[in-house]
Amino acid sequence: MMEAEVLNFLVDHMPAHVYVKDLQGKFRYINKALEAFFQVSRSNLVAVDYSDSDFFSSTIDLDRMLTADRRVFETGEPIEVTHKARRRTNSITRECSHEANGCIEEEERWYSTIKYPLKNADGKIVGLCGLSRDITEIAEREEANKLTVSERAGIEEALRQSEERHRTLFETTTQGVVYQDANGGIISVNPSAERILGLTLDQMMGRTSVDPRWKAVKEDGSDYPGETHPAMMALSTGKAVTNAIMGVYHPAEEKQHWISIDAIPLFKPNETQPFQVYTTFTDITEQKNVERAILRAKEKAEEADKLKSAFLANMSHEIRTPLNGIMGHIDIALSNKLSEEHRNENLEGLEVARQSGYLLVSIINDILDLSKIEAGQMHIGDQPFSIRNMIDQTMKIGHVLIKSRKKENIRLSQRVGDSISKSWIRAFGGGIVRRPKDATV
């Protein structure tokens, strides 16, 4: 008895409308909330066979309600239906069926109703129990936000086109694009990234920047620590990183590729910590190769310029030696006034002068050969020469220089070594010129 009283108390004090109908659709019970809504007492409800049509205007979706009742009776399963209803103020006067007869209809309201089958002890359906909630405010909010079919279709098409454009750009751009999660793990890459890095998506999936297999290096050739990679810096600082240059190992080509990187952090609404980062990069390997070639050419040109300067600095010594031989003989010849008693000496001096002239011509040819080398017109060939003759010629030039410089106390001696060249002659002549008297060369 106590349980029934508690149940009746709870049902009567519920704000929702609770009712019971028989198989003919007649109301057999309503709670207090529905009494106030219908403006009819439960005693009168039992005395008169009221149905939905007695309490609601003809505008109610009666067909929907009656169809729902039949489905419950036929299937034995509960059903939920959403519908509109408009209450009559004087609905108890059954004679009133329209406003002309004094009926006043209130505003239309939205309701959500669940109908449950009622069964007797034998399990036979004998009626149904309904529970209705007023959802007008919810329905109005939804209605305010509701889009027409054409509007929704237009938005969906715009979204589809936007996604298609983004996908096309992602798939066809020549720049590599990589998405990484908050921990730095790769979650998506585009085809250009696979080509530039020499790896497939499956090979890169989940790999982080700190993975040593990247073999990343800086422009100066030093290691590029994974935690300082642009993507990781963007994740840790929440700021974009741009124009970072990195060398990464390309496993397919077994060499390094150089890339220029931009890393952009991504944030969820109202969050300050990035949840993802996307990186775009361009392969600048060819550009770096050109830069290195230009640098090598510049260094080579600078080295060549230094060699030229050294060559020109030393050329005066190369030319001075045979000129000293020529000028020395002229000095001797002029000093003895070409007298008969010095005839043999003068003839020997003329021979030395002639040989010195040949040597000077050879040096000038060497200078011209240098220009030919730079122009790519130099032809190298074999030419025989006598080391003995070169030594003899050197000794003769030495004697001339000794006499012309009045350094008669300088003694000459010779010894054939493993190799000899014109530079030795130059050094020999220069030694005589710079040596004091009584020295030995």
CA distance 305 to 296: 14
Alpha helices in 111-227 (DSSP H): 136-145, 149-172, 191-197, 201-204
- Quick one: pLDDT at residue 261? 94
For the beta sheet containing 255-266, the strands, ordered from the edge strand earlier in sequence to the opposite edge, are 186-189, 176-181, 276-283, 255-266, 241-250
User: What are the Cα distances from residue 104, in Å, to 20, 38, 53, 134?
Assistant: 26, 13, 15, 20
The Cα–Cα gap between 386 and 364 comes to 20
CA separation, residue 121 to residues 118, 124, 125, 126 (Å): 10, 7, 10, 10
Cβ distance 259 to 230 under 8 Å?
A: no
Q: Is 329 left (phi over 0), alpha (psi -120 to 50) or beta?
A: alpha
Place of tokens 């000038």: 364
pTM for the complete prediction?
A: 0.43
Print pLDDT tens along the chain (441 aa).
466 777 778 888 888 889 899 998 888 888 888 888 878 888 787 677 777 777 665 555 677 888 889 999 999 999 998 877 766 555 444 444 444 444 445 567 788 899 999 998 888 999 999 998 888 888 777 776 766 667 777 777 888 888 888 888 888 889 999 999 999 999 999 999 999 999 999 999 989 888 888 999 998 889 999 899 999 999 999 999 999 999 999 998 888 899 999 999 999 988 899 999 999 999 999 988 898 889 888 888 888 788 777 776 666 666 766 777 677 767 766 666 666 666 676 677 777 777 777 777 777 777 766 666 666 666 667 777 677 777 776 776 676 666 655 556 667 676 665 555 555 555 555 555 555 555 544
Task: Check if the beta carbon of residue 85 is closer than 8 Å to that of residue 109.
Answer: yes
Q: Residues spanned by CATH 1.10.287.130 within the chain?
A: 292-434
Question: What is residue 29's DSSP assignment?
Answer: E
Predicted confidence at residue 27, as pLDDT, reads 86
CA distance 248 to 178: 15
Give me the half-sphere count of Cα atoms (radius 13 Å) on the Cβ side of residue 199. 20
Q: Identify the pLDDT of residue 41.
A: 82
The count of other CB atoms within 10 Å of the CB of residue 375 is: 8
Question: Which residue carries 């439960």 as its tokens?
Answer: 42
Helix (H) or strand (E) holding 362: helix 343-375
Residue 203 is predicted with a pLDDT of 92
Residues of the chain with CATH 3.30.450.20: 2-145, 155-283
Nearest residue to 265 (alpha-carbon basis) of 243, 240, 242: 240
Residue 24 near residue 52 (C-beta atoms within 8 A): no
User: Other CB atoms closer than 10 Å to residue 177's CB: what's the count?
Assistant: 18
Confirm or reject CATH 1.10.287.130 for domain 292-434, answering yes or no: yes
- Phi first, then psi, for residue 211 (nearest 5°) are -65, 125
Give pLDDT, residue 171: 87
- The structure tokens listed for 35 are 């009494």
pLDDT of residue 318: 67
Quote the DSSP letter at residue 88: B
**Rounded-to-integer distance, Cα 299 and Cα 249, Å:** 27
State the Cα–Cα distance between residues 88 and 54, nearest whole angstrom.
9
CATH architecture of structural domain 2-145: 2-Layer Sandwich (3.30)
pLDDT at 96: 42
265-270: long-range pairs with CB below 8 Å, 24+: 265/234, 265/235, 265/237, 265/238, 265/239, 265/240, 267/238
Beta partners for 388? Answer: none
b (16+ CB within 10 A) / e for 158-176 = eeeeeeeeeeeebeeeebb
Q: Where are the alpha helices (DSSP H) in 183-337?
A: 191-197, 201-204, 230-237, 285-335
CB 213 within 8 A of CB 185: no
Please give the Cα distance from 202 to 211 (Å, whole number).
Answer: 15
Tell me what pLDDT residue 159 has: 81
Give the DSSP H/E element, type plus range, for residue 50.
none
Phi, psi of 394 (to 5 degrees): -65, -45
The CATH number of the domain covering residues in 155-283 = 3.30.450.20
